[in-house]
């Protein structure tokens, strides 16, 4: 089954029981840093993070491979009267993502890993912009058995990737098998 079909099926199943998409709990905790501007939510899913950010005065561009998720998010944004522009995009095809460098104040990725996107993140964020990412990692206590290894971070991988940025929050939760980083691009560093 191709990725788009797979994710459309998953989101159709989730929509049967979903009331309102929920933003990431750590993103909510870090919201005191988030003062509005332009945001990009990659692999946005049903849009919990996008809708949350739009309510914090961000003009949000959201992308996901699932047209089911994108259509749902577009409807929710219209219903709630918030600035979210959601489009279908294959994030595995980075060359199709056409953005100007230094164009976003905030970039968010949750539970999606395509390592080449991390270089794109570094070029897309404005100086002093923020990056939030949370996804699975190879935890010694939680094997995340259903998640293929290529979609799991190594221990401290995000710290290594963003070591030249100001890290404001980092956590490896072994019980849940997730790694989270929230950092700020400083000094125009774009490695």
Question: Could you tell me the CATH number of the domain that includes residue 119?
Answer: 3.40.50.150
* 37 part of a folded domain: yes
* 134 part of a folded domain: yes
Q: What is the pTM of this model?
A: 0.91
* 78 part of a folded domain: yes
Give the residue carrying structure tokens 């949350």: 52
pLDDT at 146 over 80: no
* 41 part of a folded domain: yes
- Residues 54/57/59/64 CA torsion (nearest 10 deg): -20
Do 45 and 67 meet the contact criterion of CB atoms below 8 Å apart? no
**Average pLDDT over the chain, rounded to whole?**
89
Nearest Cα residue to 84 out of 59, 115, 113: 59
Q: For residue 43, give its domain range.
A: 3-184
* 8 part of a folded domain: yes
Which of 23-32, 52-61, 105-114, 182-191 shows the lowest mean pLDDT across its residues?
Answer: 182-191
Give the residue carrying structure tokens 């000094």: 187
* 190 part of a folded domain: no
Which of 27-41, 94-108, 138-152 shows the lowest mean pLDDT across its residues?
Answer: 138-152
Task: Return the H-helix or E-strand segment holding 27.
Answer: helix 25-29
pLDDT at 147 over 80: no
* 82 part of a folded domain: yes
Structurally, how many domains does the chain consist of? Answer: 1
d(CA 153, CA 129): 23
Sheet holding 104-110, edge to edge: 84-88, 58-64, 37-42, 104-110, 125-136, 178-184, 166-173
d(CA 168, CA 149): 27
d(CA 160, CA 22): 29
Do 129 and 184 meet the contact criterion of CB atoms below 8 Å apart? yes
Specify the pairing of strand 58-64 against strand 84-88: parallel
* 85 part of a folded domain: yes
């Amino acid at each position: 089954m191709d990725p788009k079909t797979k994710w459309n099926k998953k989101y159709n199943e989730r929509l049967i029981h979903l009331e309102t998409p929920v933003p990431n709990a750590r993103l909510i905790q870090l919201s005191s840093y988030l003062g509005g501007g332009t945001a990009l939510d990659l692999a946005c899913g049903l849009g919990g993070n996008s809708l949350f950010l739009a309510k914090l005065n961000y003009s949000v561009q959201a992308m996901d491979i699932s047209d089911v998720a994108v259509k749902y998010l577009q409807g929710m944004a219209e219903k709630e009267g918030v600035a979210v522009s959601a489009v279908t995009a294959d994030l595995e095809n980075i060359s199709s993502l056409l953005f100007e460098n230094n164009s976003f104040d905030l970039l968010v990725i949750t539970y999606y890993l395509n390592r080449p996107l991390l270089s794109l993140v570094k070029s897309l964020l404005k100086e002093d912009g923020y990056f939030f990412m949370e996804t699975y990692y190879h935890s010694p206590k939680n094997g995340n058995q259903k998640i293929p290894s290529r979609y799991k971070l190594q221990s401290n991988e995000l710290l290594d990737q963003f070591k030249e940025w100001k890290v404001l929050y980092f956590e490896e939760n072994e019980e849940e098998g997730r790694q989270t980083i929230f950092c700020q691009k400083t000094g125009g560093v774009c490695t």
